[in-house]
Amino acid sequence: MLGATTAASNATEIVLHKMSGLGNEIVVADLRGAKHALGEDEVRQIAGEPRWHFDQLMALHDPRSQGTEAFVRIYNADGSEAGACGNGMRCVGLHVATQDGRLAQRFETAASGVLTVDVESAERITVDMGRPRFGWEDIPLAEPFHDTRRIELQIGPIDAPVLHSPSAVNMGNPHAIFWVEDVDAYDLARLGSLLEHHPIFPDRANISLAHVQSRIAIRLRTWERGAGLTRACGSAACAAAVAAARLNLTERRATVTVPGGPLEIDWGRDDHVRMTGPAEFEYRGLFRLGAAPGIGEAG
């Protein structure tokens, strides 16, 4: 929904919905019916307002494919576009269920094609995240790797690396998962920032630390490319669960616990990865694009 553009302020008002997916800060901008598309500068303007700070912004546009609710563009706080955001899609699903009353939904994204979202309740929303990709050129990596279950990458001295041999997978966006005994024992803010921009990841990467607790349980911390440390990253949870199953460390169905709480991940026999977890509303309000900092009232 768009408000008026005034000649005096040259600012366009849009309605924003602040939401959360297990602590993953999400902003939903429902632009269906509007001609406006957010630019990088506008995304950064929204992210720069403390009340609208987000990990990802989900912009809903008019459907491009028949039978879908919307075409969704996903932005990081730095203005770059993300390929996937599972927590954000749960928030979008709850928003659409509340606005339109539909519980079984289909959305189109540029990176993952058409995704289905099923809203059982605010506590149980399932997103079909599509099929994982494992080929080095699909992740992508800067050089060929025959086996991406563990790639040759390490940080620290060659004889005593701090981190090494991550699994690599594309889950709508590139992920590298390092297997550790204690996910809290590392300065992920420093290491994540370094590894996100490693030359081996030409499109940058989400960097995760994962500890396998049992055949059905994983603990996970994630540094998101373009966003930084996050309390929850749905695509990273899916990537970690898939990577663990490929290494025969877990079953194909597992609970991945991120700092914000647990997510249920099921890598089905149809090769689709389905993620179930909660979403919640925090507040909504108007935001003036192009206005001076501090403009934008939440309610």
Render pLDDT for 162-207 as a digit per residue (tens, 0 to 9): 999 999 999 999 999 999 999 999 999 999 999 999 999 999 999 9
pLDDT tens by residue, 207-248:
999 999 999 999 999 999 988 999 999 999 999 999 999 999
147 belongs to a structural domain = no
What is this structure's pTM? Answer: 0.89
Same structural domain, 241 and 289: no
Location of structure tokens 């989400």: 206
239 belongs to a structural domain = yes
136 belongs to a structural domain = no
265 belongs to a structural domain = yes
Q: Could you give the C-alpha distances from 24 to 40, 64, 75, 114, 169, in angstroms and in order?
A: 21, 27, 13, 22, 21
Same structural domain, 101 and 183: no
Same structural domain, 249 and 288: no
Do the strands 70-76 and 206-214 form a parallel or antiparallel pair, or are they unpaired?
Answer: unpaired
pLDDT tens by residue, 104-122:
999 999 878 899 999 999 9
Same structural domain, 285 and 258: no
Question: Within a 10 A sphere around the Cβ of 297, how many other Cβ atoms?
Answer: 10
CATH number of the domain enclosing 103: 3.10.310.10
The total number of structural domains in the chain stands at 2
Same structural domain, 240 and 266: yes
Domain ranges, residue 251: 154-271
146 belongs to a structural domain = no
Q: How far apart are CA 166 and CA 85, in angstroms?
A: 21
pLDDT tens by residue, 12-26:
899 999 999 999 999
Same structural domain, 158 and 80: no
252 belongs to a structural domain = yes
Catalytic residues: 85, 233
Provide the CA 170 distance to its chain's centre, in angstroms: 12
